[in-house]
Amino acid sequence: MNRYALIVAGGSGSRMGSDTPKQFLPIGNAPILMHTIKRFFTSTEKVNIILVLPEEQIERWHQLCEKYSFSIPHVIVSGGNNRFQSVRNGLNSIGETSGLVAIHDGVRPFISKRVIEESYSIAEKKGNAVAAVELKDSIRLIHGTENKSVDRTKYKIVQTPQTFQIQQIRDAFHKAQHMDFTDDASVSEAAGYAVELIEGSYDNIKITTPEDLAMAESILKKFEY
């Protein structure tokens, strides 16, 4: 089955305290987004990469690609007003009705080859595959002014990639009754599909704050291309 990687990058950088969109901030020798794209390009068999960016950021991305001599093939699609619309735009750009699509956050540049390959493999067999990791900390449930301890082993932290058979995720987005979903697995679940979890990675952080950026520099030293 043909493989697609739909990389969604719509951040503004506000939580970073920066005027530069977070996906364009550098770690190591390149912007975060370039590291993310490179992970998919080098970690799996032939993959068609689709990058979804806000319309107003596309020219800046072209400038960065020229500055860093970034030549990995990818198609650019204009995003929407929210994540749901952006993913839908990316899905609509795929001409095929069959195949596999891994939907991934542009600011998760440390996705491993193992997770990428497993996500495609499981999604091909079971319809979808969603990366998730166990909680490390204790958690408490807040109810009004009260709170109580809950069993953390009954919960998972959801990551990306979230990989689907194309026809399944398109159907789910078509059936969606609202756009307030926080991830694509929730869209699929709302359409009646069971969600298949696979083991993610604690290195697979989402870079959204200055603290994350500092951690990313440390993690980057472990990754070799």
pLDDT tens digit string along 200-220? 999 999 999 999 998 998 899
Domains of the chain, with CATH numbers? 3-132+158-220 (3.90.550.10)
Residues linked to residue 30 through DSSP beta bridges, in sequence order: 27
pTM for the structure as a whole: 0.94
- pLDDT tens-digit map of 35-84: 999 999 998 779 999 999 999 999 999 999 999 999 999 999 999 999 99
Q: Quote the CA–CA distance of 132 and 160 in Å, as a whole number.
A: 8
Helix, strand or coil, per DSSP, at residue 84: helix
Cis amide linkage into residue 26, ω under 30° from 0: no
Give the residues across from 158 on adjacent strands: 132
Residue 225 has pLDDT above 90, yes or no: no
Closest CA to 158 of 193, 126, 196, 192: 196
**Mean pLDDT in residue range 192-205:** 97
Strands 26-27, 30-31: parallel, antiparallel or unpaired by DSSP? antiparallel
